[in-house]
Amino acid sequence: MRELQGVAVSPGSVAAPVLVLRKRPALPPDVRTDADAASAVGDVERAIASVAAHLEAQAQEVSHDIAAVLQAQALIVGDPTLLDAIKRRIGDGSTRTDAVEDSFSEFREQLAAAGPYFADRIEDLDDLSYRIRASVLGVAMPSRVAPRSPRIIVADELAPADLVVLGPSVVGLVTQRGGATGHTAIVAKSLGIPAVVGCAGACELADDTVVLLDGGTGVVVAAPTREQVDEHLAADAASKARIGALAGPGRTADGTPVALLANLGGDHDVLAATDCEGVGLFRTEFLFLDRDDAPSFDEQVEVYSALLRSAAGRRVVFRTLDAGSDKPLGFVDVGHEPNPALGVRGYRIAAHYQELVDEQLRAVATAEQLAGATAAVMAPMVATVAEVRSFVAQARAHGLREVGVMAEVPALVLSADRVLAECDFLSIGTNDLAQYTFAADRQLDELAVLLDPWQPALLRLVSMAAEAAKRSGKSVSVCGEAASDPLLALVLAGVGVSSLSMAPVSIPAVRAALFELTMTGCQQAAQIALGAEEPAAARAGVRALLKIDG
Amino acid sequence: MPFERRVQVGSSSGLHARPAAAFVRAAAAHPHRITIGRPDGPAVVASSILSVLGLHVGYGEEVVLTAEDELAVGALDELSALLGQDLDRED
């Protein structure tokens, strides 16, 4: 028995044998013995045809979404300009594999220069280049076939080509790299299977080793004893039953209310079926993405009032358009930015496109009247008191009563007292707040540990915001990834966060966690987490507290 | 004298991802050599996905489709009509 620890990203427990997706072997050098360019070109052409045929064949066996990814890869492999570049290099005396690799690099650089939009395609290029070279050299590729019996998939990191293994028999995911907001986490949550990422040593497991995976704590036990598995799965089933039996507003064991809210995009249908106290984050940008023009005023009113009606009296917080050069819009051009995360995004766009935000606020106010409900609005990515004041004035001019801002930039938290003197509430976006506090790009898996929502420095900022809210008699909520972690929810409640907004699927487990600890217990948990030096110690400390307590 | 068609890209995400793939597949289905580029920029082979992606054409930008062969005029019409549509909305 061996225990590994990673970052829990998708809850649930499962025990099953593992299928390890082996890393690609290093390729031997290609030696150009004869000077026959024609036969070298023929070898590459055959390799290309074989890789393309393999991709097309795989595309037949997978779901629609994944098939589209594979077909796009086949299109790249068959690119005539790519083949011309390879032929030219072979004619100039390159070896077959150098010609392939250098030709891919040529396009790789072009696409990288075109901006972050192409990041996924660039990964694809590296993968395809490798596969063509392996085929030229006759090196067998590690097989990627969906398992037929229940398996936990273990990988260094899930590459696009690995998606084909995710058939119905995959019951869990463990990756050695990756972070809480990465690719694997999103895939696992959408499939509803437990997953742990950033788990060092996972790839050293032998195939078919039985592993006990806990997607709630991030613990991965290799070759567990029978008793351990039984005990764990029984505890998991019992906790599921306990979670299922609870309903209603969020509160701690001693009855202190902590509101449980849902984060929603376009899917307001789920609201009717979700046991929650409202919507803490409605991402309005879904209405604006993938289209030529801004949605009309009437269209916005229709969508917003439909949402308010399905909320049936529950609180709904509309976040105004959150876009920028990292989430480009067809009709908003902020120009080229070398570093979009630090560019004109969120409320900063309003400076360029006043009328977009203004019309949106007018639509929310109209929807409010039509539906006979109260709507709250908040602006994303504000950093200064002046920005807050301007947004509040703009919203109040339309008659909106509850107006807040998102706390995603450390500067805003540092001015929390003054900010709260201007507006009604703060909502903390922990993912962006972590990115800007730790100077760590959210999209870089290598920096996952800096983006861990348990980082004590991040929690101290949350606590500062909560204390400012207490002084001003206003409220602060958390609507990032952090709110969906049941253990961390206790810490957030303990520092004084009064509502937690998360994906609807995460609400029951958070409700159950709060229900089992008193507010005094939550405050102790907060003290432990804020006083820790690093995330793992913070987690371990809070877990130990619960053991003593329960 | 080459044959030309000018058209504004109608896909909201520009000529990227899915719209680019649909365009390149349609271009590759014709036997003629057709190129695409900006009015004042270099032209690339329309059936090359990597070259088309590398143009980094955004929504509403004008592009020029060119062919040398008169027999390709029908293909030019079809491809320019395709570029004018919003291919992101197709499923």
Q: Strands A2-5 and A219-222, how do they pair?
A: antiparallel
CA atoms within 13 A on the CB side of A53: 7
Tens digits of residue pLDDT in A41-54: 999 999 999 999 88
User: 3-class SS at A259?
Assistant: strand
- Chain A residues in contact with B13 by the CB 8 A cut-off are 290, 328, 330
For an interface test with A, the pick among B23, B50, B52 (most A C-beta atoms closer than 10 Å) comes out as B50
Query: Distance of CA A38 to CAs A84, A90, A124, Å?
Result: 13, 9, 28
Residues A246-549: name the CATH superfamily: Phosphoenolpyruvate-binding domains (3.20.20.60)
| Segments making up each domain of chain A, as ranges | 2-23+144-239, 37-137, 246-549
Is A159 a residue whose pLDDT tops 90?
no
Can you identify the CATH homologous superfamily of domain A2-23+144-239? Answer: Phosphohistidine domain (3.50.30.10)
Give pLDDT tens digits for A417-434: 999 999 999 999 998 999
Q: Please tell me if the domain spanning A2-23+144-239 has the same topology as the one spanning A246-549.
A: no
Q: Is A428 exposed, middle or buried (0-12, 13-18, 19+ CB in 10 A)?
A: buried
Residue A381 — φ and ψ, nearest 5°? 55, 55
Q: Which residues in chain A have Cβ-Cβ distances shorter than 8 Å to B12?
A: 290-292, 330
Q: How confident is the model at residue B91 (pLDDT cuts 50, 70, 90)?
A: very low
A15 in Cβ contact with A68 (< 8 Å): no
ipTM reported for the complex, 2 dp: 0.89
Average pLDDT over residues A282-288: 85
In Å, how far is B48's CA from the nearest CA of chain A? 5
Read off the tokens for A366.
């109209």
**Tokens standing for A371?**
């539906």
Instruction: Tell me the mean pLDDT in the region A510-523.
Output: 95
DSSP helix/strand/coil, A197: strand
First to last CA, chain B: 38
CB A494 within 8 A of CB A256: no
Quick check: A493 and A472 in contact, CB under 8 A?
Answer: no
Domain count, chain B: 1
pLDDT band at B1 (very low <50, low <70, confident <90, very high): low
Grade residue A351 by pLDDT with cuts at 50, 70 and 90. Answer: confident
Q: What is the overall mean pLDDT for chain A?
A: 87
Of the pLDDT bands very low, low, confident and very high (cuts 50, 70, 90), residue A251 is: very high
pLDDT digits (tens, 9 = 90+) for A452-499: 899 999 999 999 999 999 999 999 999 977 898 899 999 999 999 999
Confidence check: pLDDT of B90 > 50: no
CATH code: domain of residue B75: 3.30.1340.10
B43 touches chain A (CB under 8 A): no
| Residue range B43-70, pLDDT digits in tens | 999 999 989 988 888 888 999 999 988 8
CB spacing of B54 vs A328 below 8 angstroms: no
Lowest mean per-residue pLDDT among A304-318, A511-525, B14-28 = B14-28
Query: Could you tell me the residue range of the domain that residue B75 belongs to?
Result: 3-89
Taking every pair of Cα atoms in chain A, the longest distance, rounded to a whole number of angstroms, is: 82
Interchain contact B83–A (C-beta under 8 A): no
Contact status, residue A76 vs residue A128, Cβ threshold 8 Å: yes
Q: What is the pLDDT of residue A133?
A: 94
Domain A37-137: give its CATH architecture: Orthogonal Bundle (1.10)
Q: Is B86 on the interface with A (CB under 8 A)?
A: yes
CA–CA distance, A231 with A218 (Å, rounded to integer): 17
Least confident of A249-258, A275-284, A445-454: A445-454
The nearest alpha carbon in chain B to A103 belongs to: B50
